[in-house]
Amino acid sequence: MSKSQNIYDNQAFFDGYKRLRENPDSANNLEEKPALFSLAPDLRDNAVLDLGCGYGENCAEFLKMGASRVTGIDISEKMLSVAVSEHPDIEFIRGDMSDLSFIKGKYDVVFSSLALHYIEDFGKFAKEVHDLLNHDGYFVFSQEHPLTTAPVSGVNWSKDENGNVLHYNLTDIQEAESVPQHGLLTVSKNITAPFRRL
């Protein structure tokens, strides 16, 4: 297929990722998906392409939002196996996002949820997405950031006395020396200094 990273077909990684995604307190469920869907245009009667579709849960939501046609693309056979079995009414194609020339047709909206960090040549990718879009089409994507994906102490949500999630605590990437909370985020001495200089 390609030289692009496909760690999701490694069984141990796939099993760990599945457990992570099944967690109702995951960042995907609490932050990323609500933000991504809030940016979506009206999908009624639109053709939608989902790049890096994984299990296809976003594709299913696009159909519920009125999309006339949804196509999901992912490089992982394991991910697509789950997607096809759980969403048989959606077209899924195994493909590499680093070269979108295999995709035929045009789309009104192209989505990509937390998958662009696998792209080495973003300029080429953006041009290919542009070429797949109908006139006045939309490209809606989210991107991982190391401040939330690489904390030394692991995932750290603040919760109230009833266990309801209040916010995510940003921690340092290099060492776990925190400073007092400011607003909704717990910040680190290591990450606040560079931001002050910007």
- 24-29: Cβ within 8 A, 24+ apart: 25/157, 25/165, 27/148, 27/155, 27/168, 28/114
The pLDDT assigned to 46 comes to 97
pLDDT at position 170 is 65
Predicted pLDDT of residue 173: 46
Does pLDDT of 9 surpass 90?
no
Q: Give the per-residue pLDDT at 143.
A: 82
Q: What is the pTM of this model?
A: 0.70
User: What is the predicted pLDDT for the residue at 52?
Assistant: 92
b or e along 126-161 (b: 16 or more beta carbons within 10 Å of the residue's beta carbon)? eebbeebbeeebbbbbbeeeebeeebeeeeeeeeee
Arithmetic mean of pLDDT, 95-114:
94
Q: Looking at the predicted structure, is the pLDDT value of residue 91 above 80?
A: yes
The rounded Cα 19 to chain-centroid distance in angstroms is: 16
Average pLDDT over residues 84-103: 94
Domains of the chain: 7-142 (3.40.50.150), 147-197 (no CATH)
Q: Which residues contact 70 (CB under 8 A, 6 or more apart)?
A: 47, 48, 49, 50, 59, 62, 63, 90, 91
Tokens 């290919």 found at: 128
Q: In angstroms, what CA-CA distances link 177 with 56, 78, 190, 191?
A: 39, 39, 8, 11
**Res 175 pLDDT > 90:** no
